[in-house]
Amino acid sequence: MNGFETVIYERNGNIAHVTLNRPRVLNVYSVQMRDDLYEILSAIKADDEIRAVIFKGAGEKAFCAGADLSEFLTAPSVVKARKIRVLRDLWGLFRSMPQPLIAALHGYVLGSGMEIALFCDIRIAAENTIFGLPEMGLGIIPGAGGTQTLPRVIGLARALDMLLTNRRMNAQEALESGLVSRVVPGDRLLETADEIARKIASFKAAAVRNGKQAVLQGLDMPLQQGLDLEKRLAMKTRTSGHQ
Which residues are the active-site residues? 115, 135
Bridge partners for 103 per DSSP: 55, 123
CA distance 90 to 156: 25
CA distance 98 to 213: 7
CA distance 117 to 65: 12
| H or E element that contains 11 | strand 7-12
Q: Which of positions 117-156 make contact with ligand COA (CB under 6 A)?
A: 134-135, 138
We find the least distance from the C-beta atom of residue 196 to ligand COA, in angstroms, to be 27
Q: Which of positions 222-241 make contact with ligand COA (CB under 6 A)?
A: none
Q: What share of the chain is helix, strand, coil (3-state, %, to 5)?
A: 50, 20, 30
Q: Is 108 in the site for ligand COA (CB under 6 A)?
A: yes
Mapped onto helix, strand or coil, the DSSP state of residue 3 is coil
We find the least distance from the C-beta atom of residue 168 to ligand COA, in angstroms, to be 9
We find the least distance from the C-beta atom of residue 163 to ligand COA, in angstroms, to be 12
Q: Which of 15, 17, 66, 106 binds ligand COA (CB under 6 A)?
A: 66
Nearest residue (CB) to ligand COA, 36 versus 68? 68
Q: Is 26 in the site for ligand COA (CB under 6 A)?
A: yes
Q: Is 57 in the site for ligand COA (CB under 6 A)?
A: no
